[in-house]
């Protein structure tokens, strides 16, 4: 397992098209993957931009977690965040230089639209144009940079930042977990930072667990994350949020009835979370957090995949906000989840 990444840059150093083509030619080699992972700057640095005008420190704030599904529609997505009243956004699945999202630097553009600062880290360098639907639409358009990652957006400066790997990497390069041609270099990971509030520091963490794992793999990734957070930040009050891919909670399943009261019976990661002093009950609704894409042809059930965990703070007024533009257009296959934090 790699150590957390702490190096910061004002602008990400991009892998050239030639480097990405060379990497694709070596698909299937763990040794090649690990060499790229260790040597490409974009996988070993965090892009940081602070808000131009930071808000005054607050003793209460709204924190949201949102898997924005590439962030293909920046301006309408900013509207969802505004309507949710989110002061801090723990964002996952954000593109930078991908054809499917109009080659935009989505984290930077979304933060600018909101007037927030941000940190951005690369989870994967994409060697293709995406899933089968995206490939059918954009497969003949080369990616400008091919980056895909996670971010934290905030009204307040983000300090003491880290990118925390959750696995050894290579699962999407040595093999194709979905068998659909998505070849990637990188690791599942979390982004973390400290913000100063009116009553002291608060740790905020954006996390994305592996989609092609099982409940035991998710528990192991959560334990890796919490161990590293305690090592890096100690016992700070904290909010963790993101896409946990907790696929055991789906529409019509018996587990959905006890999703808040006893989730560990189906998803052992919740037992791990509790052992480290985190709670989920006040910060979540237990409602479904996914929605089908308009072009989806499968019949997968809706699920509860997105969560917020808190430690040392009080959570209230939790809500699930539809991932729809103001005029009802689809923006993501995950809803935005949010809670009000009092310190």
Q: Give residue-wise pLDDT tens across range 38-48.
A: 999 999 999 99
pLDDT averaged over every residue in the chain: 96
Distance between CA atoms of residues 151 and 162, nearest Å: 11
Q: Give residue-wise pLDDT tens across range 122-172.
A: 999 999 999 999 999 999 999 999 999 999 999 999 999 999 999 999 999
Please tell me which residue, 319 or 180, carries the higher pLDDT value: 319
Q: Given the structure tokens 């899933």, which residue do they identify?
A: 131
Q: Give residue-wise pLDDT tens across range 189-201.
A: 999 999 999 999 9
Quote the pLDDT of residue 320: 98
Using DSSP bridges, classify how beta strands 336-342 and 314-321 pair: parallel, antiparallel or unpaired: antiparallel
Q: What is the dihedral of CA 2, 151, 288, 322, to 10 degrees?
A: -170
Identify the architecture of domain 8-342 in CATH: 4-Layer Sandwich (3.60)
Q: Which residues of 38-67 are buried (b: 16+ CB within 10 A; e: fewer)?
A: eebebbbbbbbbbbeeeeeebeebbbbbbb
Give yes or no for residue 1 having a pLDDT over 90.
no
| pTM of the shown model | 0.98
Q: Give residue-wise pLDDT tens across range 95-124.
A: 999 999 999 999 999 999 999 999 999 999
The answer to whether residues 207 and 229 touch, using CB atoms and an 8 Å cutoff, is no
Judge residue 195's burial from the number of C-beta atoms within 10 Å of its C-beta, 0-12 exposed, 13-18 middle, 19 or more buried: buried
Q: Please spell the DSSP secondary structure of 108-121, one letter per residue.
A: HHHHHHHT-EEEEE
Distance between CA atoms of residues 284 and 261, nearest Å: 11
Quote the pLDDT of residue 228: 98
Distance between CA atoms of residues 290 and 271, nearest Å: 23
The answer to whether residues 270 and 255 touch, using CB atoms and an 8 Å cutoff, is no
Instruction: Give the list of residues 6+ apart from residue 230 with CB closer than 8 angstroms, or none.
Output: 276
Distances (CA, A) of 322 to 66, 68, 79, 83, 245: 11, 11, 11, 10, 18
Give yes or no for residue 299 having a pLDDT over 80.
no
Q: Give residue-wise pLDDT tens across range 228-281.
A: 999 999 999 999 999 999 999 988 887 888 899 999 999 999 999 999 999 999
Quote the pLDDT of residue 298: 72
8-state DSSP, 41: G
Instruction: Give the list of residues 6+ apart from residue 337 with CB closer than 8 angstroms, or none.
Output: 64, 65, 66, 241, 284, 285, 289, 306, 307, 308, 318, 319, 320, 321
Quote the pLDDT of residue 300: 78
Tell me what the mean pLDDT of segment 160-186 comes to. 94
Give yes or no for residue 317 having a pLDDT over 80.
yes
The answer to whether residues 288 and 307 touch, using CB atoms and an 8 Å cutoff, is no
Residue-range domain boundaries for the chain? 8-342
Using DSSP bridges, classify how beta strands 238-243 and 306-311 pair: parallel, antiparallel or unpaired: antiparallel
Q: Given the structure tokens 């930071």, which residue do they identify?
A: 54
| Nearest CA among 146, 148, 150 for reference residue 162 | 150
Please give the helix or strand (H or E) that residue 77 lies within, else none. Answer: helix 74-84
């Amino acid at each position: 397992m790699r150590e957390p990444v702490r190096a910061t840059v004002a602008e990400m150093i991009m892998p050239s098209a030639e480097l990405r083509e060379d990497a694709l030619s070596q698909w299937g080699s763990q040794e090649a993957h690990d060499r790229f992972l260790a040597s490409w700057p974009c996988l070993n640095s965090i892009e940081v931009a602070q808000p131009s005008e930071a808000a005054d420190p607050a003793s209460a704030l709204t924190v949201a977690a949102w898997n924005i599904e590439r962030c293909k529609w920046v301006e309408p997505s900013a509207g969802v965040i505004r309507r949710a009243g989110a002061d801090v956004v723990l964002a996952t699945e954000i593109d930078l230089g991908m054809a499917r999202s109009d080659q935009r630097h989505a984290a930077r553009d979304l933060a600018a639209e909101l007037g927030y600062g941000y940190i951005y880290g690369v989870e994967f360098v994409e060697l293709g144009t995406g899933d089968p639907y995206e490939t059918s639409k954009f497969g003949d358009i080369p990616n400008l940079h091919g980056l895909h990652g996670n971010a934290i957006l905030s009204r307040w400066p983000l300090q003491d930042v880290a990118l925390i790997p959750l696995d050894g990497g290579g699962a999407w390069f040595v093999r194709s977990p979905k068998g659909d041609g998505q070849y990637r270099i990188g690791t599942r990971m979390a982004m973390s930072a400290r913000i100063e509030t009116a009553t002291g520091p608060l740790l905020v963490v954006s996390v994305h667990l592996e989609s092609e794992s099982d409940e035991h793999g998710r528990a192991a990734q959560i334990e890796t994350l919490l161990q590293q957070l305690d090592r890096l930040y100690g016992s700070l009050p904290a909010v963790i949020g993101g896409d946990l891919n907790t696929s055991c909670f789906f529409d019509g399943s018996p587990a959905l009835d006890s999703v808040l009261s006893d989730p560990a019976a189906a998803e052992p990661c919740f037992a791990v979370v509790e052992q480290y002093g985190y709670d989920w009950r006040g910060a979540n609704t237990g409602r479904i957090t996914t929605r089908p894409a308009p072009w989806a042809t499968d019949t997968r059930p809706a699920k509860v995949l997105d969560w917020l965990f808190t430690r040392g703070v009080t959570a209230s007024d939790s809500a699930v906000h539809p991932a729809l533009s103001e005029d009802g257009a689809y923006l993501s296959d995950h809803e935005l989840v949010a809670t009000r934090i009092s310190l």
